[in-house]
Amino acid sequence: MKHGRKGSRDGESGTKPDGGPSHEEAGEHEGGPGAGGHGDHGDHHAHMVADFRRRFWICLAFTLPILALSPMIQDWLGIAEALDFPGELYVLLGLSTFLYIYGGWPFLKGMKREFLGREPGMMTLVAVAISVAYFYSAAVVIGLEGKVLFWELATLIDVMLLGHWLEMRSVMGASRALEKLVELLPNQAHRIGEDGDIEDVPLDELEPGDRLLVKPGEKVPVDGKVSDGETSVDLSMLTGESKLVPKGPGDELMAGSVNQEGSVKMEIEKTGADTYLSQVIDTVSRAQEARSHTQDLADRAALWLTIIAISVGAVTLAVWLIIGYEFDFSLERSVTVMVITCPHALGLAIPLVVAVSTTLSAKNGLLVRDRSAFERSRLLQAVVFDKTGTLTEGSFGVTDVVSLDAELDEEEVLGLAAAVESRSEHSIARGIVEEAKERDIETGDIEDFKAIPGKGAEASVGGRRVAVVSPGYLEEKGIDTAGGEEIGEVSEQGKTIVYVLSDGEPVGAVALADVIRDESREAVESLEQAGVQCMMLTGDSRQVAEWVAGELGLEDYFAEVLPDDKSNKIEELQQRGLKVAMVGDGVNDAPALVQADVGIAIGAGTDVAVEAADIVLVRNDPRDVADVLGLGRATYRKMLQNLGWATGYNVIAIPLAAGVLYPLGILLSPAVGAALMSVSTIIVAFNARFLKTPS
């Protein structure tokens, strides 16, 4: 199973997308109405934003009297005598105690969680810093010789709460696109009763098999098929498809798409959690919260920063004491070191990029089911495409028309063939008729249509008896085609050939093959420009594979591959040392999708292929493979930028906090240290928001 080989998509715990404290640590109770639903994810962040905002403003209000009563601030402002009254230090202690408990609660709870998890990190650093400042200052009030640091305790808590508040707002911004998906569904649907009456009912009352009416301008409420009527729908919010898509009887309708033109009746196939939109929301939500390999790196870096902070803080305290400075000065340097080393920016660096990139992927028709595989996409060296239904449309189309009669040109030959085949339902017939329509060729009226079982069809067209037949029919009748050289070249390409006879004489031939998507050429070109080898895997003959590979300019191909051997071909490439992606759409592609380093399924393919894949191309467009690669690389670059900023500034900040430039008059207080740390965190958050899909 893929889950066992590449890591569980659902069972991984780990850092929350915001990198901050949990719901409980933010001071909120867990659970509540609707817990566990799609909206709960957004409600969780909304509660955190509200909690940090509330704590910040309340603590800021208490900070003002704390600053006014702090002896050091009074001396700086020259107001010591004006505010001198009996017991002022005890009032200061009382205000600071409230601030320490209420404002510091998220950090104290976070420290407990980190210790229980044996992963000391940012919360531990902040909790240690404010606890040292509080208990030392309290001891001074009670009688210890020294200076109170309550003003620094207050400003430190204020700045940390403000930083968390701003960070949570950034995270909320990254999650809003997911909420927009939820808003795509209407509240009610127009259900058609057995007697034809229409009633408006809530979506949770709908069941598969029910018939609905969808009016122009309305959103499709559930997944199903058009049963009556024709229209065009807007899929842009679901797949990124900018053009309106025509829909008629038998065509699929997706929940969340917008009906643009005529009213249509539809039959429900899927409701609730089974609909495409619900699966997108669920998948995006899981991917946002999934733990990635890069996040593991960030967590290890945070642990080392914690160790460095506490160690350097202790050494700083000892060194300043040893060289003869007062304890309060030495303690202030130690506290500043521990504050400025806080790795909260590091904790936010990766999860926020993950949240933004996953949302960007979904908005652009790239449904990421496995975060680790998405990260591996940046390393891809080869992409192997399945042919039928992926590089090609999976349907017959005309590739060549050959005239064998000097009096008829190619269009006239095609017109005769299309006239006869207009009465047939065969896939070859449909391909010929469609080609004639695209070329605006008039086919004329036909009479006396007759099928030739297993060989073709014939009819009277404009006074001629025209037949469209297989090569076997010519052999059976002993008819010589002449002009065989041109037809022979087409035949060697593995194409299907039918002959056009007029009154028993061959006048032309039409070659058909599985139609190559126009988008496939662009996809191959884009990937090769990105330095990725493009290959093809097919069960078709070598001649067919060679022709398709030549048309697309593929570097290599595998032909006549049995379904159960496709995964072996992927493994062969991996044994060459290549990082390989497999792109397919069928049941027989599933093993190869699992074997590949990155499995990519075409969204219009089978459920089995989609379930086996790491990434689903919702738009059924092979060009999106290049977008996967581009977004994967852009995401990784953004992660490295954030990691670099979140850790790199410590190279300068820690020595400054320790006081190495004190002889030059440069000294950082704990509050300034907290401000610098929070600024770095906010920069990391904004940097993640600037992640864009490569054009």
Out of 279-293, 386-400, 548-562, the most confident range is 548-562
Give me the pLDDT at residue 646, please: 74
Range with lowest mean pLDDT among 3-17, 98-112, 164-178, 301-315: 3-17
Intervals of CATH 3.40.1110.10 along the chain = 396-515
> Would you call 465 helix, strand, or coil by DSSP?
strand
Q: What is the percent of the chain where pLDDT is above 70?
A: 78
Strand, coil or helix: 523:
helix
Rounded Cα–Cα distance for residues 515 and 241 (Å): 21
CATH fold of the domain at 360-392+517-633: Rossmann fold (3.40.50)
pTM of the predicted model as reported, rounded to 2 decimal places? 0.60
Q: 500 pLDDT exceeds 50?
A: yes
Tokens at residue 582, please?
Answer: 């497999």
Is pLDDT at 21 greater than 50 in this prediction? no
Q: Residue 256: exposed, middle, or buried by beta-carbon count in 10 A (0-12, 13-18, 19+)? A: buried
Tell me, what amino acid is at 438? E
Class of domain 396-515: alpha beta
* Residue that is written with structure tokens 């009030």 in the block: 141
Write down the pLDDT at residue 319: 94
Q: Are 595 and 567 in contact (CB under 8 A)?
A: yes
Q: Is residue 9's pLDDT more than 50?
A: no
User: What does the pLDDT average to over 268-296?
Assistant: 64
Which whole number is the average pLDDT over 600-627?
77
Mean pLDDT of 405-434: 88
Q: What angle do CA 572, 632, 354 make, to 5 degrees?
A: 125
**Weakest mean pLDDT among 20-24, 248-252, 525-529:** 20-24
Q: What is the pLDDT of residue 394?
A: 74
**Residues forming CATH 2.70.150.10 domain(s) in the chain:** 188-283
Report the pLDDT value the prediction gives residue 563, as an integer from 0 to 100.
Answer: 66
Measured in residues, the chain has a length of 695
For the question of residue 228 being annotated catalytic, the response is no
Flag whether pLDDT at 289 surpasses 80. Answer: no
Q: Are strands 211-214 and 456-461 parallel, antiparallel or unpaired?
A: unpaired
Q: In this model, does residue 295 exceed pLDDT 60?
A: no
Query: Which residue among 386, 540, 597, 627 is the active-site one?
Result: 386
How are beta strands 392-403 and 382-386 bridged, if at all?
unpaired
Q: Which of 103-112, 239-248, 490-499 has the highest mean pLDDT?
A: 103-112
Query: What's residue 499's pLDDT?
Result: 92
Q: Which residue type, as a one-letter code, is found at position 125?
A: L
From CA 420, how far away is CA 507, in angstroms rounded?
Answer: 14
What pLDDT does 572 receive?
93
pLDDT for res 407: 86
The CATH T-level fold of domain 188-283 is 2.70.150
Under DSSP, the state recorded for 455 is T
pLDDT over 80 (residue 47): no
Measure the CA angle with vertex 621, ends 618 and 218; round to 5°: 50
Q: What is the pLDDT of residue 95?
A: 95
Q: Which residue has the higher pLDDT, 410 or 685?
A: 410
Q: Is 140 helix (H, G, I), strand (E, B) or coil?
A: helix
Is it the case that residue 23 has pLDDT exceeding 60? no
Torsion of CA 522, 523, 529, 532, to 10 degrees: -160
Average pLDDT over residues 596-615: 74
Closest CA relative to residue 137, chosen from 60, 72, 76, 84: 72
In this predicted model, which residue has the larger pLDDT, 301 or 68?
68
State mean pLDDT over 646-670: 80
- Which residues in the chain are classed under CATH 3.40.50.1000? 360-392+517-633
Nearest Cα to Cα of residue 394 among 611, 240, 604: 604
Average pLDDT over all residues of the chain: 79
With CA atoms as reference, report the closest residue to 123 among 279, 329, 305, 328: 305
More confident residue, 487 or 588: 487
120-155 pLDDT, tens per residue?
Answer: 766 777 788 788 878 888 888 887 766 777 887 888
Centroid of chain to Cα 116: 33
CA-based nearest residue to 61, from 13, 102, 4, 8: 102
